[in-house]
A and B are shown apart, each in its own frame.
Chain A
Amino acid sequence: MKPPTDTDTLPPAATDSVVENPTVGIDQSAGNFSYNVDYEFDAGTGLNEKTVEYISSVKKEAPWILEFRKKALKTFESMPLPTHWATKDLENIDFNKIRYYLSQGQKPKRTWDEVPDDIKKTFERLGIPEQERKFLAGVEAQFDSEAAYSNIKDIVSKQGVIFCNSTEALREHPEIFRKWFGKVIPTSDNKFSALNSAVFSGGSFIYVPPGVKVSQPLQAYFRINAENFGQFERTLIICDEGSEVTYMEGCTAPKFSTSTLHSAVVELVALKGAKIQYITVQNWASNVYNLVTKRGLAMEDAEIKWIDCNLGSRLTMKYPGVVLKGRRARGEVISIALANDGQHQDTGAKMIHAADETTSTIISKSISVGQGRSTYRGVVHIPKHLKGCKNNTECDALLINSNSRTDTYPAITVRGDKHATQHEASVSKVNEEMIFYMQQRGLTEGQAMSLAVNGFINDLARQFPMEYSVELKRLIDLEMEGSVG
């Protein structure tokens, strides 16, 4: 494992054997995607200080970042898995068998003909454009987005917006990003934020100058490259005073995953009067552990809204949060989760009220299909010294089959007597009479189930941008196909 000497010489792969299934380690049998792939940059399996040094050297990082990574690695190693409250399934992750950094460089590594037919079929049915299909299937290392979408970056850069990947941002704009990097979510927040802090690569860094309102949503989807589809991406969005931005990440196509562990950290900072909306739609292969930490800091009169949709994966643990730091700050989390057979969606939200007259809203809807399990965990914290805080929490669970499972763990701590909180929760089972009614109109049982599920989330799906809500609907149709009979 040698560090690169200059920009023209690429570092050799860390292991001598380059052709090896990168997804070894965790049960692959359930996974939809696994190929043999050649990688130009490969940190090898296992995690130690050398791995971190390798990543940092490939990225030609400043010394402070390497130090940050090394410290994070120690924190990661010292922290236990959170199995005292979370599922014991976490114990099945073998951290020594995971590759922490892989990069394909620019070259396509496999042909379209090698992509399995069922994946091609799924892309087709989702209506994914040809070019994007090839990228998603891993046929092309870089999605050819420049021609079609580079104007978005041009337009926003004219407004002074910085929009680039984390490596570039920390190298080119440390004065802006270093101040907030790791501040909203400290390295030691949890074991997986520590892991991410040690080995992060990819992700977006965005800075919006004061008063600038970015009219179109910025999308990770349209500027994807090998790193953005990485396992440990790091995103930081800073909206300066009075500015506004919407960010969308992910896509509803089943994601080709090179690893079974995905652990991202996303930090948002909304300064006085700023507004950030962060939209995620993800559909992971069913062997992936998706353990993500997302949190925003909302200053005075600022607003942060998370719209989060989770499908697929073996286990997703994700609780987007907002720290309401300034007076009248507002936080909102809209969450949709669908757990199918063998999947556990453990999702929810955190609202930490830290100033007077702050308001927060949590709306969560989960669907459990077959033996799928969905869990809602919510934290709402309003301390005694504050006044005029409001929270509204609604969580609804829909069970499709009689062996489907849902759990709800709301933790609402409200001290003081000048606050208003409201909590509503419901669990319902798909009604057989309703399914018969729909069948009597000519829909198959599967189509009827799909329609019922789409109806259940309809009020939330409407908050997604049009193309996402359409894809979401199609995806639910696909998920529901095998749920009956």
Chain B
Amino acid sequence: MHTLEIKDLYVSLTESPEKSIVKGLNLTIKAGEVHAVMGPNGTGKSTFSKAIAGHPDYVITSGDVRLDGESILEMEPDERARAGIFLAFQYPSEVPGVSIANFLRAAQQARLAEGEELDATAYYKKLYSKMDMLKIDRKFTSRSVNEGFSGGEKKRCEILQMAMLEPTIALMDETDSGLDIDALQVVAAGVNQLRGPNLGVLLITHYQRLLNYIVPDFVHVMYDGRIVKSGDKSLALELEAKGYEWVKQELAAAKA
């Protein structure tokens, strides 16, 4: 079974490595599980997901991240991706002039051994079946990646890529941001389709709203660079009712 273990992780901005944003984060995600990480702005939620994916703006100063027991810290971002880590971006980049179909084809090709050619027929068959599953119009894939997309289209494009690339661990960074309720439902339906015994999901979100549609197995509260509270889905509801102030007060009380 695939497992992502994050051990005592410290992350800083590459340009100011002395100042930690993530400060000793521990989390284990197993395939088949959906974990939600919640927390107020600026607590390091996005930072830690990007650092795991290998974003050059961030540097891991201490701790370890292991995929199936192997540290990924020495791996390039593309190696991490090919090893099975997928990051659904909060703000996906535009790739002008490159169609979604060609982009995904290149990504699939990159997963083959040197000299091996992607079977184009099989690829399109798979692409169309995933699109049908996600109820995405076929014309969609001839558009340039994210170029001129609405917020909902961008997120749907991320879900389609996730479906095609079949990661073992998906980190979903604020997938709900900028979505109206209809788009949110569509995206959530997509994630639910992809849920299964071979995929571990980490949902980073601000609001409980998304968790009405994607019901998590575990909920973690992140504050000041650490996970300070973990529980099941009821924790999300409690947070919704009491607000993050409640967590802060509990923390302060524990320290005192």
Contacts and interface: CB of A to CB of B under 8 A. Distances in A.
Interface in B77-115: 77-78, 81-82, 86-87, 89, 92-98, 102-104, 106-107, 110-111
B163 to A, nearest CB: 13
A439 B77 contact: yes
A442 B78 contact: yes
B93 A434 contact: yes
A434 B77 contact: no
Nearest to A453: B97
Contacts of B68: none
Interface string A409-448: 0000000000000000000000111101111111111011
Contacts of A455: 95-98, 144
A303 to B, nearest CB: 26
Contacts of A432: 56
Interface centre among A436, A439, A442, A452 (most CB of B within 10 A): A442
Contacts of A111: none
A388 B104 CA distance: 47
B165 A442 contact: yes
A457 interface: yes
A457 B97 CA distance: 7
Contacts of B104: 441
B165 A441 contact: yes
Given A436-B55, A436-B77, A437-B89, A442 B82 contact: yes
B53 interface: yes
A32 interface: no
A442 B94 contact: no
Given A439-B81, A442-B165, A458 B107 contact: no
A459 B98 CA distance: 10
B95 A437 contact: yes
A456 interface: yes
A316 B96 CA distance: 28
Interface in A452-485: 452, 454-459
Contacts of A444: 76, 78, 110
A438 B97 contact: no
B12 interface: no
B141 interface: no
A436 B77 CA distance: 7
A441 B77 CA distance: 9
Interface centre among B81, B86, B165 (most CB of A within 10 A): B81
Nearest to B86: A440
B205 interface: no
B81 A452 contact: no
A372 B165 CA distance: 35
Given A441-B81, A442-B82, A442-B107, A456 B96 contact: yes
Contact of B97 (A437, A441, A445, A454): A454
B47 to A, nearest CB: 14
Contacts of A440: 53-54, 77-78, 81, 86-87, 89
B162 to A, nearest CB: 10
A148 to B, nearest CB: 26
Given A436-B55, A436-B56, A443 B95 contact: no
A445 B81 CA distance: 12
Interface in B99-136: 102-104, 106-107, 110-111
B95 A451 contact: yes
A437 B106 contact: no
B92 A442 contact: no
B161 interface: yes
B216 to A, nearest CB: 23
A444 to B, nearest CB: 5
A451 B103 contact: yes
Given A436-B55, A443-B106, A444-B110, A452 B77 contact: no
A444 B54 CA distance: 13
B95 A438 contact: yes
Given A439-B78, A455-B144, A447 B97 contact: no
A383 to B, nearest CB: 37
A441 B107 contact: yes
B179 to A, nearest CB: 19
A441 B93 contact: no
A454 B103 CA distance: 11
A12 B103 CA distance: 58
Nearest to B87: A440
Interface of A: 431-434, 436-445, 447-448, 451-452, 454-459
11 contacts: A437-B89, A437-B95, A438-B107, A440-B77, A442-B78, A447-B110, A452-B98, A455-B96, A456-B97, A457-B97, A458-B98
Closest 5 A-B residue pairs measured CB to CB? A455-B97, A458-B97, A437-B93, A455-B98, A439-B77
Given A436-B77, A436-B93, A442-B110, 12 more contacts: A434-B95, A438-B95, A438-B107, A440-B54, A442-B81, A442-B111, A443-B78, A445-B76, A451-B95, A451-B102, A451-B103, A452-B98
Interface of B: 53-56, 76-78, 81-82, 86-87, 89, 92-98, 102-104, 106-107, 110-111, 144, 161, 165
